[in-house]
Chain A
Amino acid sequence: MVNLSVKIHELDFKNPVLTASGTCGFGEEIADFFDLSLLGGIVVKGTTLKHREGNAYPRMAETPSGMLNAVGLQNKGVDNFISNIYPRIKDLNTHIIVNVNGSTIEDYVALTERLDELEKIPAIELNISCPNVKEGGMAFGISCVSAEAVVKAVRKAYSKTLIVKLSPNVTNISEIAKAVEGQGADSVSLINTLLGMAVNAESRKPVLSTVTGGLSGPAIKPIALRMVWQVYNAVKIPVMGMGGIMNATDALEFMIAGASAIQVGTALFIDPAVPVKIINGISEYMERHKIQSVNEIIGSLQC
């Protein structure tokens, strides 16, 4: 038997495969397809302090080997999460991580304080990288000063594992990673979507109601891999890698580049059962390469 367990800060994960925020709902939506307890963790849909309707339709455009989305953090707010959703998912026997969003630092802090009280939420993923909201979101994640400010404030309000989700829409992602590490982040996850755009040539109109949106899928994998490798070499805290992971080989590439864990996102839209295939594929790879612990793979890139 190979050992798949990994550690992010003080948190032990049974394996390094998580589902990414905004692609698995609250877990329940994909429960028909596989046993959720097999997952290392579930990062649930981006949550805000108050209900958000999100952006107008159309919110999606298919692109070569990927897609653009402009959902804009549609969610029913943290009160609804705590009263209606948390009780249903808290005992899924996998780590439930909440993706936290805000327009202001005060929002982030208020939301974080509420989540800190939830016994079965061992970590939050602080989203300072959503490209689809007018205020806050990515604006916090594209400068060291604002990233530091929000992480500093949230760190004070949150006692458990704090993962900060980084934007790839920056000149130097390592600098942002170092900045949030300096303010007490326990881990960084990357990458969020890349800002992109689709145009309908016939109508000469943008495809998305918001004109621009976030690009995901295998189209962004080489960029994500590069950034994971750069950040892994720049910080001491563990890195969670994501961006276009479709199968076990992709997942292993991220781990070799330095990711301690990976998140599967857009791939779920095409094959909602893919996380189990990735977990099994990692095991098979380890057996084939006679690797006992998955930790031996992390950052094992031989340059």
Chain B
Amino acid sequence: MKKTVTDFLLIENKQLNKDNFLLVLQSPVPVSDIFPGQFINVEIKGSPEIFLRRPFSVLNVDYEKQTISLLVKILGRGSKKLTEARLGETINAIFPLGKSFTLPDNQDHILLIGGGSGVAPMLFLSKICQLNPANVTVLIGARSVSDHIDISEYQPYGMFYFTTEDGSLGEKGYVTDHPVFSEQFNRYNKIYACGPDLMMKAIGRKAIDKGIFCEVSLENMMACGFGVCLCCVEDTKTGHKCVCTDGPVFNVNDLKW
């Protein structure tokens, strides 16, 4: 799919909780196909401190309304500035970038694990595949219920389970402590994960150990997003690979985990 630089219109900017915002960008032209795991690289204007674009994985796309929804978590100066954007502002973005998750099919029993802002591509994946909801398990981890975002729009597409570190929602602990992960792992033939490195490594190692297909989405710091700066490399079994073009989705068997 051809990559384009597009001037989007910001049509929604909703604070979901302390650090998370939902931004909806509307394109003046039909939106190119974009799949779960692919990302959009957003220009954030107005500060010399924010020189580079910021990559965000896509939460949702509406081809009819020509919109792309992003879950923006405030992690630093760039994401903070973006969440301060006002409705009607122009948001310039390059997309679609990177490789998507391998889309599952009807025979698959899939487990989607999202931690923190890593829930975005997992929710998108659950929705886009239109599988039998009984075959889709979504496990979402957050620090606390106050970091949790409303997922009701996605509820019809799978069975949802939650963990929080303080036990304020779902099981107490990490996603890897949840019975879905610790006891029922073998029920699934495809595991997808996006979230903090340590979480993905724990999931990846178990998948490798059990011989189960597992893809994770990495978020190494990048400058360009389309494979020219070679800054975001991951040291894989076959050498340095660009997370922006060879990933961000990697099969865990290719990583040095």
| A residues apposed to B, CB below 8 Å | 22-25, 29-30, 32-33, 45, 53-54, 56-60, 62-67, 69, 71, 74, 217, 266, 268-273
Q: Are A69 and B227 in contact (CB under 8 A)?
A: no
* Cα A217 to Cα B53 with chains together (Å): 14
Q: Are A29 and B227 in contact (CB under 8 A)?
A: yes
Q: Please name all residues of chain A whose beta carbon is closer than 8 Å to the beta carbon of B220 when the two chains form the complex.
A: 57-58
Overall SS of chain A's interface: loop
Complex A-B: 16 CB contacts under 8 Å: A23-B228, A29-B228, A32-B2, A33-B4, A54-B230, A56-B235, A57-B220, A60-B221, A62-B50, A64-B49, A67-B52, A74-B230, A74-B240, A269-B52, A269-B223, A271-B43
Whole-angstrom distance between the Cβ of B47 and the nearest chain A Cβ = 9
Whole-angstrom distance between the Cβ of A220 and the nearest chain B Cβ = 12
* Cα A24 to Cα B230 with chains together (Å): 10
Whole-angstrom distance between the Cβ of B8 and the nearest chain A Cβ = 15
Whole-angstrom distance between the Cβ of A236 and the nearest chain B Cβ = 34
Q: Please name all residues of chain A whose beta carbon is closer than 8 Å to the beta carbon of B5 when the two chains form the complex.
A: 33, 271-273
Whole-angstrom distance between the Cβ of B67 and the nearest chain A Cβ = 22
* Cα A30 to Cα B229 with chains together (Å): 12
Whole-angstrom distance between the Cβ of A73 and the nearest chain B Cβ = 9
Whole-angstrom distance between the Cβ of B211 and the nearest chain A Cβ = 28
Q: Please name all residues of chain A whose beta carbon is closer than 8 Å to the beta carbon of B226 when the two chains form the complex.
A: 29-30, 272
| Total A-B pairs, Cβ < 8 A | 92
Q: Are A67 and B4 in contact (CB under 8 A)?
A: no
Whole-angstrom distance between the Cβ of A194 and the nearest chain B Cβ = 15
B215 at the interface (CB under 8 A from A): no
Whole-angstrom distance between the Cβ of B234 and the nearest chain A Cβ = 7
B81 at the interface (CB under 8 A from A): no
Extra pairs beyond A32-B2, A69-B223, A69-B231 (5, CB < 8 Å): A29-B227, A29-B245, A54-B233, A64-B49, A65-B51
Q: Are B231 and A60 in contact (CB under 8 A)?
A: yes
* Cα A45 to Cα B94 with chains together (Å): 22
Q: Are B228 and A60 in contact (CB under 8 A)?
A: no
* Cα A22 to Cα B224 with chains together (Å): 11
Partner pick for A33 among B3, B52, B223, B231, CB 8 A cutoff: B3
Known: A22-B229, A74-B240, A269-B228. A65 touches B48 (CB 8 A): yes
* Cα A193 to Cα B82 with chains together (Å): 29
Q: Are B239 and A63 in contact (CB under 8 A)?
A: no
* Cα A25 to Cα B154 with chains together (Å): 39
Q: Are A269 and B240 in contact (CB under 8 A)?
A: no
B214 at the interface (CB under 8 A from A): no
Q: Are A60 and B232 in contact (CB under 8 A)?
A: yes
Known: A23-B228, A53-B240. A74 touches B43 (CB 8 A): no
Q: Please name all residues of chain B whose beta carbon is closer than 8 Å to the beta carbon of A30 when the two chains form the complex.
A: 226, 228
Q: Please name all residues of chain B whose beta carbon is closer than 8 Å to the beta carbon of A273 when the two chains form the complex.
A: 5
Q: Are A270 and B228 in contact (CB under 8 A)?
A: no
Q: Which residue of A lies closest to B227 (CB)?
A: A29
B222 at the interface (CB under 8 A from A): yes
Whole-angstrom distance between the Cβ of A228 and the nearest chain B Cβ = 22
Known: A32-B3, A60-B232. A272 touches B51 (CB 8 A): no
Q: Are A57 and B233 in contact (CB under 8 A)?
A: yes
Q: Please name all residues of chain B whose beta carbon is closer than 8 Å to the beta carbon of A269 when the two chains form the complex.
A: 52-53, 223-225, 228-229
Partner pick for A58 among B48, B221, B230, CB 8 A cutoff: B221
Q: Please name all residues of chain B whose beta carbon is closer than 8 Å to the beta carbon of A272 when the two chains form the complex.
A: 5, 94, 224, 226, 228
* Cα A69 to Cα B53 with chains together (Å): 16
Whole-angstrom distance between the Cβ of A133 and the nearest chain B Cβ = 14
* Cα A25 to Cα B50 with chains together (Å): 24
Q: Which residue of A lies closest to B4 (CB)?
A: A32
How would residues 45 to 83 of chain B score, 1 for a CB under 8 Å from any chain A CB and 0 otherwise? 000111111000000000000000000000000000000
Q: Which residue of A lies closest to B54 (CB)?
A: A62
